[in-house]
């Protein structure tokens, strides 16, 4: 027998049932263990079968059995309650502690008497900001954010200048060492100088990183306090004026405009827009755009070329806490906490302006890393249990494969999400993991990168992201192997797959109008761009006006 897992004390009681058959009297005595754990209907059926009881007592036996169990169970409960009361009368228990425990249990389980949930500070701040950005105070908020942006930019400028001077000085020192190599100096001196230079750069970078983090923290605290105070001032009818509007000097950051202007001339942005209707019965209108642009152009802060002082992010701020968010797909490697390639450039853009609403990028990446480790541990435990249930030989090969991979890395097709309020036009960034396989021309609709697009589009549907920017060729930069046939084949695959995913969206969100922007690298030719532009309406079957004429 298995041991009883219940902690309640069990007692045995006899159920006695008397009945008559003709002139004979019979007595049925059955021991029952209380509290009764088994089904009484099943128990009653076994009694009838084992003791070969007559059928005319079946209903009466069941009635008496149920009545007996109910009465004895109530007696047990009453006895337990009496013993508890006796313990209280004899001062064996702390009455106040018992009353507090009972009151806490009652208030926690009874909604009518439960304490209201504590308000979330982040939610309160979000509501306050949403009210202000949709009020006449929006100009003041954006000016304040721009002033903070200027402060960060000046600090980054000082950092870059100091790092540049250090590298130039170290380069000159290394040239002298190399000239003396083999004469008065040996390889040991070269290695020692390289190590010293690396340590000096690390110390200087850590110093500026610490100052940048400290400034961002101070700005975020000041900004949030100022927003709350401004909201209180607006609600106070006795105030005849709001806080003085923050002014921005027109001479600030004019140098960066020239640079952006030159880049714009070098890589002229090409754009084509289409309107489509998708759906089997109830069709939904969507906007499609094909652009030749850099992915990070949607993240970098754009300034007004006329005045040179205003961040063009009013629409982004207005929709920050709304059901019309804007997302972007960034193709990354399988390491989360690393900065290389486009991830380094994206981190630099995030540093240019303090995020006043969400954690900094590094903090969000650390959380994502912990989630990945937890998910890997859960999957490993599940896989281990499955392997133990099978034969050892079948599971040995899989185990060997799983141990070769770093558990902190993500797989191709998986992605992690970061939230931002400090980017120019983007609220949400999907960091989609891809490998070198995307550069080959043989990927199919079941490739992990394509399936990753499907999964992140599903996230867009469930989290109110109505605009999404997708790299059409699944690369951010063109290379030699990406010929015209390669680009055409890849674009056709992505167009068709995204169209299928958009058809699925109707079952995911009920049919919401969306904007999908397909981006191609800046160094793609105009001829290739317009070839892809002609391909898009053929695949999506863009609606066109049909003119009917009648002949008499």
Q: How many domains does the chain have?
A: 3
Query: Where does 30-94 have alpha helices with state H?
Result: 40-50, 58-89
Q: Are residues 36 and 139 in the same domain?
A: no
Collapsing DSSP states into helix, strand and coil, what is residue 394? Answer: helix
Lowest mean pLDDT among 129-133, 227-231, 386-390: 386-390
CA-to-CA separations, 503 to 277, 453, 455, 458, in angstroms, rounded:
10, 14, 14, 11
Span 171-182, mean pLDDT? 86
Collapsing DSSP states into helix, strand and coil, what is residue 180? Answer: coil
**Residue 182 Ramachandran class (φ > 0 left, ψ -120 to 50 alpha, else beta):** left
pLDDT-derived band at 416, boundaries 50, 70, 90: very high
Q: Are residues 200 and 276 in the same domain?
A: no
Lowest mean pLDDT among 186-195, 295-304, 453-462: 295-304
CATH code where residue 349 lies: 3.40.220.10
Q: What angle do CA 357, 359, 361 make, to 5 degrees?
A: 120
pLDDT score of 126: 87
Q: Which of 76, 545, 551, 529 is nearest to 275 (CA)?
A: 545
pLDDT-derived band at 393, boundaries 50, 70, 90: low
Q: Is the CB of residue 397 less than 8 Å from the CB of residue 296? A: no
pLDDT-derived band at 250, boundaries 50, 70, 90: very low
Question: Given 57, 81, 109, which residue is the final one in a domain?
Answer: 109
Cβ neighbours for 471, distance < 8 A, ≥ 6 positions apart: 295, 329, 331, 518, 519, 520
Q: Which two tokens stand for residue 97?
A: 């502690």
pLDDT score of 329: 96
pLDDT-derived band at 305, boundaries 50, 70, 90: very low
Q: Are strands 284-292 and 515-520 parallel, antiparallel or unpaired?
A: parallel
Q: Are residues 90 and 132 in the same domain?
A: no
pLDDT score of 516: 94
Q: Are residues 168 and 196 in the same domain?
A: yes
Span 229-252, mean pLDDT? 62
* DSSP one-letter code for 322: S
> Per DSSP, what are the bridge partners of residue 19?
26
What's the rounded Cα separation, in Å, for the pair 164 and 156? Answer: 12
Task: State percent of the chain over pLDDT 70.
Answer: 82
Q: Are residues 91 and 186 in the same domain?
A: no
Q: Which two tokens stand for residue 404?
A: 């070769």
What's the rounded Cα separation, in Å, for the pair 127 and 513? Answer: 26
pLDDT score of 254: 46
User: Is residue 364 scored above 80 in pLDDT?
Assistant: yes
Q: Are residues 158 and 192 in the same domain?
A: yes
Q: Are residues 429 and 495 in the same domain?
A: yes
Q: Are residues 146 and 219 in the same domain?
A: yes
pLDDT-derived band at 37, boundaries 50, 70, 90: confident
What's the rounded Cα separation, in Å, for the pair 171 and 176? Answer: 9
CA-to-CA separations, 295 to 100, 309, 324, 388, in angstroms, rounded:
60, 24, 20, 47
* Enclosing domain of residue 70: 11-109
Task: State percent of the chain over pLDDT 90.
Answer: 30
Residue 137 placed within a domain = yes
CA-to-CA separations, 34 to 12, 50, 147, in angstroms, rounded:
6, 22, 75
Lowest mean pLDDT among 174-188, 293-307, 354-368, 450-464: 293-307
Question: Given 109, 138, 163, which residue is the final one in a domain?
Answer: 109
pTM as predicted: 0.70
pLDDT digits (tens, 9 = 90+) for 56-86: 888 888 888 888 889 888 988 888 888 878 8
> Per DSSP, what are the bridge partners of residue 438?
none
Q: Which two tokens stand for residue 102?
A: 């009972």
Tell the residue number behind the tokens 């599971």, with chain if given: 395
Q: Which of 159, 267, 252 is nearest to 521 (CA)?
A: 267
Q: Are residues 328 and 432 in the same domain?
A: yes
pLDDT-derived band at 101, boundaries 50, 70, 90: confident
Q: Is the CB of residue 301 less than 8 Å from the CB of residue 313? A: yes
Q: Are residues 206 and 66 in the same domain?
A: no
User: Is residue 394 scored above 80 in pLDDT?
Assistant: no
Q: Are residues 104 and 126 in the same domain?
A: no
CA 263 to chain centre: 33
Mean residue pLDDT of the chain comes to: 82
Lowest mean pLDDT among 114-118, 248-252, 472-476: 248-252
User: Is residue 249 scored above 50 in pLDDT?
Assistant: no
User: Is residue 182 scored above 80 in pLDDT?
Assistant: no
What's the rounded Cα separation, in Å, for the pair 59 and 499? Answer: 66
Residue 240 placed within a domain = no
pLDDT digits (tens, 9 = 90+) for 495-528: 999 999 988 888 787 778 899 999 999 989 899 9
pLDDT score of 261: 45
pLDDT score of 97: 78
Span 283-292, mean pLDDT? 90
pLDDT score of 266: 47
Q: Are residues 516 and 436 in the same domain?
A: yes
Collapsing DSSP states into helix, strand and coil, what is residue 26? Answer: strand
pLDDT score of 544: 54
Question: Given 192, 214, 235, which residue is the final one in a domain?
Answer: 235
User: Is residue 308 scored above 60 in pLDDT?
Assistant: no
């Amino acid at each position: 027998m298995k041991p009883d897992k219940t902690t309640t004390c069990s007692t045995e009681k006899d159920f006695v049932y008397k009945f008559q058959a003709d002139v004979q009297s019979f007595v049925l005595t059955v021991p029952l263990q209380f509290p009764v754990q088994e089904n009484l209907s099943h128990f009653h059926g076994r009694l009838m079968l084992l003791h070969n009881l007559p059928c005319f007592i079946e209903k009466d036996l069941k009635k008496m059995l149920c009545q007996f169990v109910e009465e004895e169970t109530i007696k047990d409960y009453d006895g337990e309650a009496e013993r508890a009361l006796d313990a209280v009368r004899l001062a064996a228990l702390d009455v106040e502690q018992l009353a507090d425990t009972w009151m806490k249990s009652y208030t926690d389980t009874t909604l009518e008497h439960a304490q209201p949930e504590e308000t979330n500070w982040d939610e309160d701040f979000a509501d306050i900001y949403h009210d202000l950005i949709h009020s006449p105070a929006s100009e003041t908020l954006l000016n304040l954010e721009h002033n903070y942006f200027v402060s960060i930019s000046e600090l980054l400028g000082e950092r870059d200048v100091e790092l540049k001077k250090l590298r130039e000085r170290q380069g000159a020192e290394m040239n002298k060492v190399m000239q003396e190599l083999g004469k008065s100096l040996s390889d040991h001196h070269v290695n020692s100088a390289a190590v010293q230079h690396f340590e000096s750069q690390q110390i200087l970078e850590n110093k500026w990183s610490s100052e940048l983090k400290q400034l961002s923290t101070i700005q975020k605290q000041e900004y949030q306090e100022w927003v709350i105070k401004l909201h209180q001032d607006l609600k106070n009818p006795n105030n005849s004026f709001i806080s003085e509007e923050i002014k921005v000097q027109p001479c600030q950051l004019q140098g960066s405009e020239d640079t952006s202007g030159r880049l714009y001339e070098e890589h002229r942005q090409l754009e084509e827009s289409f309107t489509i209707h998708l759906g089997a019965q109830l069709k939904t209108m969507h906007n499609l755009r094909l652009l030749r642009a850099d992915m990070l152009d949607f993240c970098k802060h754009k300034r007004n070329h006329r005045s040179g002082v205003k961040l063009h992010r009013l629409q982004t701020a207005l929709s920050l806490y709304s059901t019309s968010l804007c997302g972007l797909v960034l193709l990354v490697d399988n390491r989360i906490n690393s900065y290389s390639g486009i991830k380094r450039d994206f981190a630099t853009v995030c540093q240019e302006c303090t995020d006043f609403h969400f954690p900094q990028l590094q903090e969000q990446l650390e959380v994502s890393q912990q989630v990945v480790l937890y998910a890997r541990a859960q999957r490993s435990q599940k896989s281990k249990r499955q392997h133990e249930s099978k034969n050892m030989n079948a599971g040995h090969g899989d185990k060997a494969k799983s141990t070769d991979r770093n558990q902190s890395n993500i797989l191709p097709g998986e992605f992690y999400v970061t939230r931002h309020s400090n980017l120019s036009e983007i609220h949400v960034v999907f960091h989609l993991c891809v490998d070198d396989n995307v550069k080959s021309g043989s990927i199919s609709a079941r490739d992990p990168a394509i399936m990753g697009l499907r999964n992140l589009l599903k996230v867009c549907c469930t989290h109110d992201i109505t605009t999404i920017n997708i790299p059409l060729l699944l690369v951010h930069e063109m290379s030699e192997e990406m010929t015209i046939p390669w680009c055409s084949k890849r674009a056709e695959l992505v167009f068709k797959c995204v169209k299928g995913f958009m058809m699925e969206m109707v079952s995911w969100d009920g049919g919401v109008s969306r904007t999908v922007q397909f981006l191609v690298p800046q160094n793609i030719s105009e001829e290739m761009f317009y070839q892809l532009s002609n391909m898009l309406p053929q695949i999506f079957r863009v609606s066109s006006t049909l003119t009917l004429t009648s002949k008499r």
